[in-house]
Each structure stands twice: as structure tokens, then as C-alpha cells.
A and B are shown apart, each in its own frame.
Chain A
């Protein structure tokens, strides 16, 4: 077993697990790269993506898993059930695969009202139908009251690879364009407000949806010209792009004024001192495409339902390597870093 190989080096030095390790930023990366990867992934040397492509019976399939631990379970724009389906469909989509089947595990807290559970199961069924994916099985466990925040859901999914799409950070070149499917920050800020601890109101809702139709529209016109795709969930756009910058050793330049942020989301972020680029999204994706295909790609996505707000937000440059650089129209620039831990509001 891998764990007994003496030469496997554990680089994870944190003495205990913190919330930050699940936030999708640097701490998460430290955990994954420092503990999970050396012990679990063995000889796998590809940069970690949203889904893995494995060879089975002579062909390749995509496989991924995701867990959902959101509170509250229901929020404007969706619920945990929809997140669970869309999240996995999206992970497969941005790895260049069409989701075929999902399996679901529920960890339920004793005392959870049955109608709450039923509502989520219905939501999952509807989301699966909308996304064109079948739920084919799963598992259920019940834990004592207080041991699971009402319910935790994990979904695992498999999918068919879309022919002609080969996504790898190493294919990214200077001059490539960075496309974003729509406004950022909606989901994370909606959850924050839905917790009701803040005296804050805004008309915002989660953006949870399947991005597969948009991915398919992009692939149809840009296929081989797509270098990389990712869905910016926890950690936000900034974290995603930083991972890419690190993996491809180039500079991702973002035109700050081009990044779309809805009004209410902007207001909440301003009031709390949060950066929309660090906030989770559940219905968006980023794509890096060859420059000559960018316009066509954009047009195709914009013509697809749900794609009207797609936009080019940046481009790839050589230097400074491994960095995401935000530039403004007036000539100022700043490094946009990965999230360190949970996005913390600030007063200063």
C-alpha cells in the first residue's frame, strides 16, 4: 500500500484542521498537495483538475466527486440538492466531459424533518432532469443529532469525454484569452446573507446551474483551441486563475473593469470589505482559448441561453510568471492572490 512506502513525503505541517482548509484557497491546496496527493495519488503527476480521466476497458471516462455542506439548506436561487447535482455536472463539464450518471450519498442528522429531506430529493431529481443526467444509486447514513448540519450530500459522477477537447494547463500560451461565463460572487454572497446573521439585504440569488450547455457551445466552435477550463467554486475566480498561473508558469492578466459583478453582490462586498474575485460561484466557468478563436467562442456562448453575459476578462502573458495580475484602465496594476483562508470581512 502506498501509505507504507517510506519514500512518500508528507509536506502538510499544520497541526490541526481549520475551516480554512476547506475554503478552496491556499490552505486547501496545502492539504491536498501536502497530504492527500502524496499518499493517495501515487504516480499521478498531472496537475489536479476538477475531474479525473481514467482509462477503462480501452476507452477513457471522466470521474469526479463533490460534497455539499451548505447552511442554510435552502437559499434564494436554489438549495443543497441542486448544488449537489449541478456541482458534479459542472466539474465534469469543465474537464471536457458530459455527465452520464451520478451516485449520491446522504449523511442525515437524526431529527431532520422528513419534508425537508423530501424537498431536497425533489430538487435533486429536477436538477438532474434539467441537466440531462441520471441518478443511478447511492447510500444513506444517519448520524446523531448535532453531528451533521441537518444534511451533508456527496455526489460522484461519471461522464463521456467530449471528442476533440484536450484540456491541460501546459497547452496555455502567451496571447491566449481568458473567458468568463457571467457575473461573479452571486453564490457566496447569497449564502452569507441567507444565514441571516447580518443586518443586510440585497436582491441577490445563487447562480447554481449546469454550465454544460455553454461548455458544449464553446466546444462546438473552439474545440481544439480550448486550453483549459475550470469552475470557480470555493476560493473564487482569483484562486482558480492562480492555480492555472502556477500550473502553466505564465501570467494571467485580468482587466479589472471587465469582470462582471451584479449590483447587489457589489454592494454586499463593499459593505463587508470582501473581494468578489474570492467568492464562490456555482454556475460559472472560466475558459482559456486560443486568441484567434476568442471572438467566435464568445459569440457562440452569448447565443446560448444563459450565456448572454459571457465576456473576455483577460489574457495570458509571459511575466510575471505564476502570477495573476489585475490591471485597470488607468494604468494601475496589482497582484491578485489566491485566497488564504475563508474570505474575511474587514473594517480596516
Chain B
């Protein structure tokens, strides 16, 4: 289930603290950011949007790490051992 898509926060509402404007490929929509109040959202953040609500922030750092891990695949087994895995267990 769960069609949720990554979107960029382009504006925080000045009148309603729980609303923000996000943008996906040139389309803008007003969404509710009330589920992220514990880790406040800022303009420029990327969030995961589902049914008009932001469910999670997307970590650029983790995304880049994941992609670089992939890029390193196919190198020697030893090199692969050094790579920090694909996410792993609890921090």
C-alpha cells in the first residue's frame, strides 16, 4: 500500500503552523506537516508525502550513502567488507 512520494518543502505557511507548500516535478500542493512536529520541517527539506500529510523527512545523507554503496558494488570482496552495509541494524 502506500503511494507516498518524495517532495521538496518550498514554503512554510505563515498563517497555519501545521501547513506547508511542497513541490514535485513542477507541481505544488499544500500539505499538513503536523506529523513531523517533533522534528520541525524547514524550507528546502525533502519529505515523504502520503494522502496530503508529510510522514517522514528524507535524509539526503543516507540517500547519497546508499547510492555510493551501490556504485562500489562489483569491486573486490575486501573492498566490499569495508563498505558500511546498506543501512544495517539500529544505530
Judge A-B direct contact (beta carbons within 8 Å): yes
Contacts from A to B (Cβ < 8 Å): 198-204, 262-268, 270-271, 273, 346-348
B24 in complex: contacting residue of A198, A262, A267, A348, CB < 8 Å:
A267
Write out the residue numbers on chain B whose beta carbons fall within 8 Å of the beta carbon of A267.
Answer: 23-28
Write out the residue numbers on chain A whose beta carbons fall within 8 Å of the beta carbon of B1.
Answer: 347-348
Write out the residue numbers on chain B whose beta carbons fall within 8 Å of the beta carbon of A204.
Answer: 26
Is A201 within 8 A of B27, CB to CB?
yes
The complex places the Cα of A264 from the Cα of B28 at a distance, in Å, of 9
Q: Is B72 an interface residue (CB 8 A)?
A: no
Residues from 4 to 21 in B contacting A, C-beta threshold 8 Å: 5, 7
B28 in complex: contacting residue of A201, A262, A346, CB < 8 Å:
A201
Expressed in whole angstroms, the minimum distance between the Cβ of A207 and any Cβ of chain B is 15
Q: Is B29 an interface residue (CB 8 A)?
A: yes
Is A270 within 8 A of B5, CB to CB?
yes
B50 in complex: contacting residue of A199, A265, A347, CB < 8 Å:
A347
Q: Is B30 an interface residue (CB 8 A)?
A: yes
| Of B1, B2, B28, most A-chain CB atoms within 10 Å | B28
CB-based nearest A residue for B2: A348
Write out the residue numbers on chain B whose beta carbons fall within 8 Å of the beta carbon of A273.
Answer: 3
Expressed in whole angstroms, the minimum distance between the Cβ of A256 and any Cβ of chain B is 16
List 5 other contacts, CB 8 Å, given A200-B27, A263-B26, A347-B2: A264-B25, A267-B28, A346-B3, A347-B3, A347-B50
| Of B3, B26, B51, B52, most A-chain CB atoms within 10 Å | B26
The complex places the Cα of A19 from the Cα of B78 at a distance, in Å, of 61
**Secondary structure at chain B's binding surface: helix, strand, loop or mixed?**
strand
| Of B25, B30, B51, most A-chain CB atoms within 10 Å | B25
CB-based nearest B residue for A262: B26
How many B residues touch the partner, as a band?
Answer: 10 to 19
The complex places the Cα of A262 from the Cα of B29 at a distance, in Å, of 17
Given contacts A271-B5, A347-B3, contact A266 B25 (CB under 8 A): yes
The complex places the Cα of A273 from the Cα of B27 at a distance, in Å, of 13
Given contacts A347-B3, A348-B1, A348-B2, contact A271 B24 (CB under 8 A): yes
Expressed in whole angstroms, the minimum distance between the Cβ of B57 and any Cβ of chain A is 18
Write out the residue numbers on chain A whose beta carbons fall within 8 Å of the beta carbon of B23.
Answer: 267
Write out the residue numbers on chain A whose beta carbons fall within 8 Å of the beta carbon of B51.
Answer: 347
Expressed in whole angstroms, the minimum distance between the Cβ of B19 and any Cβ of chain A is 10
Write out the residue numbers on chain B whose beta carbons fall within 8 Å of the beta carbon of A347.
Answer: 1-3, 50-51
Given contacts A267-B23, A347-B50, A347-B51, contact A202 B28 (CB under 8 A): yes
The complex places the Cα of A202 from the Cα of B27 at a distance, in Å, of 4
Is A270 within 8 A of B25, CB to CB?
yes
Q: Please list the 8 inter-chain residue pairs (A to B) with the smallest Cβ-Cβ separation, ordered nearest first.
A: A267-B27, A263-B26, A267-B25, A264-B26, A202-B27, A266-B25, A348-B1, A267-B24
The complex places the Cα of A263 from the Cα of B25 at a distance, in Å, of 5
CB-based nearest A residue for B1: A348
Expressed in whole angstroms, the minimum distance between the Cβ of B8 and any Cβ of chain A is 11
Write out the residue numbers on chain A whose beta carbons fall within 8 Å of the beta carbon of B24.
Answer: 267, 270-271
Expressed in whole angstroms, the minimum distance between the Cβ of B52 and any Cβ of chain A is 8
> B44-59 interface mask toward A, CB cutoff 8 Å, 1 = contact, 0 = none?
0000011110000000
Expressed in whole angstroms, the minimum distance between the Cβ of A108 and any Cβ of chain B is 34
Write out the residue numbers on chain B whose beta carbons fall within 8 Å of the beta carbon of A262.
Answer: 26
B29 in complex: contacting residue of A199, A263, A266, A346, CB < 8 Å:
A199
> B22-43 interface mask toward A, CB cutoff 8 Å, 1 = contact, 0 = none?
0111111110000000000000
| Of A201, A203, A263, A266, most B-chain CB atoms within 10 Å | A201
The complex places the Cα of A262 from the Cα of B25 at a distance, in Å, of 9
